[in-house]
Amino acid sequence: METQSEERIEIGRETEPGAGLSGTKSSAIVEGINIVRTFKMGEVEVRALRGVTVSIRRGEFVAIMGPSGSGKTTLLNQLGILDTPTSGKVIVDSIDTSTLSDREKGKFRLYNLGYVFQDYALLPELTASENVYISLMMQGKSKAEYESSAAEILTAVGLGDRLSQLPSKMSGGQQQRVSIARALAHSPRVLFADEPCANLDSQTSKEVLDLFKKFNTELGQTIVMVTHEDWHAAYTDRVIRLKDGMLEQ
């Protein structure tokens, strides 16, 4: 079982950049099947997700929306394999992630998935370039390879002139663009973003959403983004609406 799972993860490792984008656009790349996530707080049970079934197609840009506390972050964390559902399962690119050990999940995330968070989550003592290439380094790429990949993707997000700048010397919008570059550096099959514009003004939010849209339309990057701003929905192909831990309607 262990060996079998390892092999399947290795498939992700051997593929060429963007290989996760192969196949027809209509095929599912992420499937959440009847996901329940309950948090136990002493005697109290919080039912954050009460049986959610969703399917994200390859190349789609999907928004997850709903009121505060409706379960958006919890759902994103299940689909992004950052958390384990109480019941139900998540299938990513035909791999049933419930069969993976924690170690295998870590490796699967490193090679196949990318994340953007509202607080950027950059390492403050590392430069923009170092923040971006750290995951490529962990994948065992050569120094020349990871440095040039970082420069290339930072240029693509408009920060080609700030490779050696520290996050503390950058605006919020610039830091978020570094985190987008980091999330995309290894050509993930799916990019997950949790309220990526929550700390940004509307002009800077627009720039970040334009970037997502560009990577989605030009590279076919699959994106799943949590947001509570209605105007963000216009950038996406589809909205998944949550209410009280369930799909709305």
**Binding positions for ligand ADP, rule: CB under 6 A:** 39, 41, 46, 48, 66, 68-74
CB of 68 to ligand ADP, least distance (A): 4
Angle among Cα 12, 17, 18 to the nearest 5 degrees reads 90
41, interface contact from Mg ion, ligand ADP, none, CB < 5-8 Å by kind = ligand ADP
CB of 30 to ligand ADP, least distance (A): 17
Closest to ligand ADP by CB, 36 vs 134, is 36
8 Å CB contact between 58 and 233: no
Closest to ligand ADP by CB, 71 vs 196, is 71
CB of 52 to Mg ion, least distance (A): 15
Looking at beta carbons, which residue is closest to Mg ion? 73
User: How far, in Å, are 36, 37, 186, 195 from residue 46 at the CA level?
Assistant: 11, 9, 36, 22
Closest to Mg ion by CB, 152 vs 230, is 230
Cα gap 102→249, rounded to integer Å: 35
70, interface contact from ligand ADP, Mg ion, none, CB < 5-8 Å by kind = ligand ADP
Cα gap 106→237, rounded to integer Å: 29
CB atoms within 10 A of CB 187: 19
Cα gap 15→17, rounded to integer Å: 7
69, interface contact from ligand ADP, Mg ion, none, CB < 5-8 Å by kind = ligand ADP
Cα gap 75→157, rounded to integer Å: 27
**Which of 32, 60, 114, 20 lies closest to 235 in space, CA to CA?**
60
Closest to ligand ADP by CB, 41 vs 144, is 41
CB of 78 to ligand ADP, least distance (A): 10
CB of 73 to Mg ion, least distance (A): 3
**Which of 176, 204, 196, 15 lies closest to 118 in space, CA to CA?**
196
CB atoms within 10 A of CB 111: 22
CB of 21 to Mg ion, least distance (A): 28
Closest to Mg ion by CB, 117 vs 158, is 117
8 Å CB contact between 213 and 221: no
In the block, tokens 């849209």 appear at 213
CB of 207 to ligand ADP, least distance (A): 24
Q: Tokens for 10, please give them.
A: 């290795």
Residues numbered 59-98 forming contacts with Mg ion, rule: CB under 5 A: 72-73
Closest to ligand ADP by CB, 1 vs 41, is 41
Closest to ligand ADP by CB, 39 vs 231, is 39
**Binding footprint of Mg ion on the chain (CB under 5 A):** 72-73
